[in-house]
Amino acid sequence: MLPKRKETADAAAQSFLPYGRQLIEEDDIAAVTQALKGDLLTTGPLVDRFEKTLAGIVGAAEAVACCNGTAALYMAARALGLGPGHTAVVPALTFLATASAPHLAGAEIVFADVDPETGLMRASDFEAALARAPRGRADAVFPVHYAGQSCDMAAISEIARAKETRIVEDAAHALGTLWLGEDGALLPVGANAHGDLTIFSFHPVKTIAMGEGGAVTANDPGLVRRLRLARNHEIVRAPDEFLRAREAFGEGGQANPWYYELHAPGFNFRVPDINCALGLSQLAKLARFVHLRRKLAEAYDEMLAPLAPLLRPLAREKRSATAWHLYPVRIDFAAAEIARGELMRMLASDGIGTQVHYVPVHRQPYYAARYGGLRLPGAEEFYAKTLSLPLHAGMSEDDVVRVAAALKRRLGL
């Protein structure tokens, strides 16, 4: 059941409804306050607890928490050894960071198209991108579980395996999503059942909020070790890895207590204990938040159905048991005789926030100049039509009624 809220006649008089927002409750505040009384505000015991809890929820051997999803992507790229001379396939319909992170690690990006109905990269889109890549292969692929729906990882991983391409799932949108496997088993996104690494973001508009926060999940101990190095300046502290034995070890062969080594430069991507206190408190509510988001998506589906074919919800990937992060709709703006910007401004004046996810990354001036006039019709068609409506766990059914009514009125239906 979704909560109801008292309706007022004047929609604009109600508080502004953003497209995404955190839901912070008293126990979240208490958890953070408690963390502030601890000895360690940066890397303390809550980081470890957060990592273990997250890994348990998504069914991964380990999770490495970090300061945001962008850092998680960069750490993943570094852990896989991506660098100059390497190639990574990234779907064009994503947030910039999915491409920027492997690119800043040194790789060149080959953008893949997406399904114009779901916004997801299909196996065929991945194959077409590989055909455009140097030597017809890539070192890594970063499938994005757009809006929370899972890509068909079984199909994507089959191609990746044949080409020795490593897989980093960008699940910034998909904490809590499950994939229905061939054998009927439900596989959580993050378990890496079909890939090497999965990244998450805990930005306040995501399914759980940590202020800023991110994580990478992995099953391979070697990758976990490299992720932990990448999080902390690439500083090596394990004595068996030291290269300078004479400096590293003192009398009796013991490692000198102050000593550490750098074998490659890195950044500080650590996450504070304070954020993990919030993250842990929020993870305990994940099932409720996912349920609320699903119910809100169902309410939208029902209330927006009469607006078809002018406005249609995202097509569904049937094997994805989706934890919805976004509720994007596809609008035929030409047929509606309204510009998207105009509709967004009108809805804002009705007290309703909307957003466009995303300007396809290959069209950004930096990548367009670097990789030339690439055309990706699926991503471009999706971009031309999409508009994300408000969706967050603090919303009520009345909020959905209000958004649907405003859309109907503003589209002249």
Ligand X SMILES: Cc1ncc(COP(=O)(O)O)c(C=O)c1O
Catalytic residues, by residue number, are 206
Residue span binding ligand X (CB under 6 A) among the ranges 2-10, 29-37, 156-164, 166-174: 166-174
Cα Rg of the chain (Å, integer): 23
Minimum CB distance to ligand X smaller for 279 or for 351 = 279
CB of 212 to ligand X, least distance (A): 6
What 3-state class would DSSP assign to 22? Answer: coil
Position with the least CB separation from ligand X: 69
Distance CA 244, CA 223 (A): 24
Residue span binding ligand X (CB under 6 A) among the ranges 125-133, 170-178, 282-290, 396-404: 170-178
CB of 405 to ligand X, least distance (A): 29
Distance CA 335, CA 117 (A): 18
CB of 128 to ligand X, least distance (A): 21
Minimum CB distance to ligand X smaller for 98 or for 118 = 98
Task: Give the number of residues written for the chain.
Answer: 413
Residue span binding ligand X (CB under 6 A) among the ranges 8-16, 168-176, 263-271, 389-397: 168-176
Contact in structure between 278 and 28 (CB atoms under 8 Å): yes
Residue 201 near ligand X by CB under 6 A: yes
Residue numbers 63-102 binding ligand X by CB under 6 A: 68-70, 94-95, 97-98
Minimum CB distance to ligand X smaller for 104 or for 338 = 104
Residue 191 near ligand X by CB under 6 A: no
**Residue type for position 218:** A
Distance CA 177, CA 114 (A): 19
CB of 144 to ligand X, least distance (A): 5
Residue 410 near ligand X by CB under 6 A: no
What 3-state class would DSSP assign to 197? Answer: strand
CB of 195 to ligand X, least distance (A): 15
Residue appearing with tokens 């990548």: 367
The count of chain residues that interact with ligand X, using the rule CB under 6 A, is: 14
Q: Which tokens is 352 given?
A: 């309703």
Residue 386 near ligand X by CB under 6 A: no
Pick one of 17, 114, 120, 172: the residue that binds ligand X (CB under 6 A): 172
CB of 243 to ligand X, least distance (A): 33
Contact in structure between 168 and 197 (CB atoms under 8 Å): yes
**Cα(first)–Cα(last) distance of the chain, in Å?**
29
Minimum CB distance to ligand X smaller for 80 or for 404 = 80
CB of 193 to ligand X, least distance (A): 20
12 by Cβ neighbours in 10 Å (0-12 / 13-18 / 19+) ranks as: exposed
Q: Which tokens is 87 given?
A: 């190639």
Distance CA 287, CA 177 (A): 11
Residue appearing with tokens 């126990």: 27
Pick one of 78, 173, 194, 226: the residue that binds ligand X (CB under 6 A): 173
284 by Cβ neighbours in 10 Å (0-12 / 13-18 / 19+) ranks as: middle
Contact letters (x/-) for ligand X, 133-162, by CB under 6 A?
A: -----------x------------------
Residue 203 near ligand X by CB under 6 A: yes
Distance CA 103, CA 101 (A): 5
Contact in structure between 319 and 150 (CB atoms under 8 Å): yes
Chain residues binding ligand X by CB under 6 A are 68-70, 94-95, 97-98, 144, 170, 172-173, 201, 203, 214
